[in-house]
Each structure stands twice: as C-alpha cells, then as structure tokens.
C-alpha cells in the first residue's frame, strides 16, 4: 500500500549498484538532460564556426571542446547520481569549501579575459569559473544547516545559512557578477520557503533585494548600463540584444533553415549566452518550445518526487538544486527575448562552457541522487512516532 501511495521502490539487500540505480533513477528526467546536451552539440555546429574562424581555430574547435567537457559532465552526473545522499552531502561540503576559497582568491589570482568582470582562473588550456561549482555545493550545505535546525535542540541553521548566503552574494557582487548573486539568493529563498519561512519574511527579503539593486544601480556602471539598456524603449540593432531579437523575429515558426542563420556572425556570445537566438533563427519556434518542454519536464518530475520525500535534508537540497536549474534556464531565455536585463548566464547543458557544463553535471547528478526512489517506511510508523 505504501508503494502505491508514495511510489517507493523496495531495494533488495546486496543488489548490485547498476541495477539498483537503473530501477530507482528518474529515467524521464535523465533522458531530457541527455537530449538537451545533444541539442547543444547540434546548435554548437551552427553557432561556433564563426568564432573559431575569427580566432584562427579549426571550424569545429569549440564543438569538439564542448563534446569533451560535455562527456566529463555527463560522466560526473551519472557517477554522482549513483551515490547515497549521505555521500553526496560529504563530497558537496568538501567541494563547497574548495570553491569558496577559490572565490575569495579571485581578486588576487583571477582574470577577466577583457570582459570587465574578474570571474575566472586561467589555466592556459582552459579556464575555471568558481561560482559555477560553488552553487550546487552551497545548496547542499545550506540545506544541511536548515534541516539540522529542525531537530530538537538543533543549531540555528536558518540563520547560519542566511549569513553564508549573504557572504557569497557579497563576493559575487564584487566581481561584479550580479546574475550569479541573484541565483544564489533565489536558491536560498526557495529552500527557506520550503523549510517553513513565513511569507512576510520572504516579502521583506524581496524588499531588501530591491533596495540593494537600487544601490548597485547608483554605484556600479556595469550594472547601470545593463539596466538602462533593458529599460530603453528602443533596441539598438547593433547591440547583442538587438541582434538576438532580430534573429528570433526572423526565425518565425519553422526557422530559416539549418546553417542559414546570420546572427552567429554578429554575436560574439552566440554559442554561450545567446544560443537560444541561434536555435530560434535556424530551427524556429518549434525547437525553442521543445527545449522549454525538456526543462519543464525535469523541473516538474523532480518536484513531484521531492514532494514524496520525508527526509527534510533531501527535500530542501533537491528543491534548491531544481530551482536553480529551472531559473537559470528561464533567465537565459528571458534575456534573449528581452524580458530580463542581460545577465551573462549560460543555458544549462546547451550553451558552450567547460565550467558550466561540468558544474551543471554535478548539480544534476546530486538532484538525481536525491530524487531516486527509496523506501519511505510505513506511514503508520511515522504517525506513531510523531504522537508518542
């Protein structure tokens, strides 16, 4: 009866890891992620050759790199998804501490690659963006603190997680990287809401974010320039937003044809931040709707599984991970259609980028580990334990 109600799959003792993983994993969600990666390679074949030609590389240089980093990301995702929640938590704490230390040292050893924001470490053959790896680690650490605060005589985990979120947001704002800062704060807010925070408190936090945005607008030329460009009634056709908007308009319902798009020759970030514009121009609204459907499927199925989860840590960590995943995709596509100001954020598993691909693979591996079907116990046992 419990299995019929909660969908739990009993796990047999001494069952091999792979069969157990295959029985308990959400096959629909993992299939959607694989399809998204395949779409990213397809769009990379169209979007990256102009940049490769400009930089003196072979036509498919960036596609090959995306395939390499993507294989690492998918391997990391599959391996992490086979771990137990306890092991995921231990490794996430270690990874968070390493990424946080790297974030602190960015002003000393980091580089901006001429983009005006110190966000990367240059390794010569590649670059690393610590904030990408910090996000999933922070979600797990914050969820651990919040879950611990629900225990009798537990620590003030809600307060600790809030202080940690503010410290991370401050370091990200110093780069400046307001997009990732907002994403971290949003993920924390979702977990705090799931943990039982009152609506009044969340509204107060939203007001504080508005005040902080006003201060940033007054003191950061980088931030003000992007907001002014977003609020302007006219779009300069020679800006990135102008090129992207025109490409989406030209694509129509069915697109202009494979390889026939022009936006990839005009946008320097066509293979990263504005990859959805390439998809809309060459393949039309149909492919864009398919991409949205894939993200929505992962989001809805993950939340549905987490609703059945009784472990507060797993429920909180899973909610934070899936919220960040869904909102990052929404922000990327929202920027391309000018619903949101430019953020410099990649489209998960579709855009080019080593750090974003690998960190995204780790994050989704954690989410799949948390949403695997597991015995939940008899509901009568839960009720008896609660009213003793």
What's the whole-number average pLDDT of the chain? Answer: 84
Is the CB of residue 46 less than 8 Å from the CB of residue 350?
no
Per-residue pLDDT tens digits for 242-280: 778 888 888 888 888 877 777 777 777 777 788 898 899
CA distance 76 to 382: 35
- Inside any domain, residue 288: yes
Position 354 scores a pLDDT of 85
Position 303 scores a pLDDT of 94
- Inside any domain, residue 286: yes
Which stretch of DSSP H or E encloses residue 278?
Answer: helix 275-307
- Inside any domain, residue 366: yes
Instruction: Look at the alpha carbons of 28, 30, 36, 39 in this order and tell me if their dihedral is positive or negative.
Output: negative
Per-residue pLDDT tens digits for 15-43: 788 888 999 999 999 999 999 999 999 99
Per-residue pLDDT tens digits for 112-127: 876 777 888 888 777 8
pLDDT at residue 221 is higher than 90:
no
Is the CB of residue 124 less than 8 Å from the CB of residue 108?
no
- Inside any domain, residue 388: no
Which stretch of DSSP H or E encloses residue 86?
Answer: helix 85-104
- Inside any domain, residue 385: no
pTM of the model: 0.87
Which stretch of DSSP H or E encloses residue 20?
Answer: helix 17-24
Instruction: Look at the alpha carbons of 25, 29, 34, 40 in this order and tell me if their dihedral is positive or negative.
Output: negative
pLDDT at residue 4 is higher than 50:
no
Number of domains in the chain: 1
DSSP assigned state of 111:
B
Single out the residue of 192, 184, 230 nearest to residue 209, CA to CA. 184
Choice between 115 and 79, residue whose per-residue pLDDT is larger: 79
Position 83 scores a pLDDT of 94
- Inside any domain, residue 382: no
pLDDT at residue 238 is higher than 80:
no
User: Hunting for tokens 């902080």 — which residue is that?
Assistant: 212
- Inside any domain, residue 364: yes
Residue 311: give the domain boundaries. 2-377
- Inside any domain, residue 386: no
Position 235 scores a pLDDT of 63
Please, which pLDDT band fits residue 385 given cuts at 50, 70 and 90?
Answer: low
């Amino acid at each position: 009866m419990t299995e019929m109600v909660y969908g739990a799959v009993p796990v047999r003792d001494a069952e091999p890891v792979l069969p157990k993983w295959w029985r308990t994993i959400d096959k629909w969600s993992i299939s959607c992620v694989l399809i998204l990666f395949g779409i990213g390679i397809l769009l990379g074949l169209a979007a990256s050759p102009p940049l490769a030609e400009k930089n003196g590389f072979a036509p498919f240089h960036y596609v090959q790199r995306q395939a390499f980093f993507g294989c690492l990301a998918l391997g990391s995702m599959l391996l992490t998804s086979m771990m137990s929640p306890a092991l995921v938590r231990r490794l996430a704490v270690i990874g968070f501490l390493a990424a946080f230390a790297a974030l602190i040292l960015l002003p000393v050893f980091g580089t901006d690659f001429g983009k005006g924001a110190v966000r990367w470490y240059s390794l010569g053959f590649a670059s690393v963006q610590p904030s990408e790896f910090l996000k999933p680690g922070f979600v797990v650490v914050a969820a651990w603190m919040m879950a611990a605060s629900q225990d009798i005589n537990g620590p003030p985990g809600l307060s600790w997680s809030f202080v940690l979120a503010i410290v991370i947001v401050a370091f990200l704002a110093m780069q400046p990287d307001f997009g990732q800062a907002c994403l971290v704060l949003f993920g924390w807010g979702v977990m705090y809401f799931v943990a039982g925070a009152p609506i009044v408190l969340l509204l107060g936090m939203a007001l504080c974010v508005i005040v902080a945005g006003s201060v940033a607008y007054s003191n950061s030329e980088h931030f003000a320039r992007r907001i002014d460009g977003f609020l302007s009634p006219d779009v300069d056709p020679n800006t990135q937003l102008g090129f992207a908007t025109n490409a989406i308009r030209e694509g129509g319902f069915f697109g202009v044809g494979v390889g026939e798009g022009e936006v990839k020759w005009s946008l320097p970030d066509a293979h990263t931040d504005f990859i959805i514009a390439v998809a809309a121009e060459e393949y039309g609204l149909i492919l864009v709707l398919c991409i949205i459907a894939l993200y929505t499927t992962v989001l809805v199925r993950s939340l549905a599984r987490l609703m059945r989860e009784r472990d507060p840590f797993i429920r909180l960590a899973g909610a934070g991970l899936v919220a960040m995943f869904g909102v990052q995709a929404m922000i990327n596509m929202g920027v391309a259609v000018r619903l949101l100001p430019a953020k410099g954020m990649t489209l998960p598993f579709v855009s080019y980028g080593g750090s974003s691909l690998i960190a995204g693979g780790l994050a989704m591996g954690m989410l799949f580990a948390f949403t695997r079907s597991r015995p939940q116990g008899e509901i009568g046992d839960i009720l008896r334990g609660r009213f003793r």
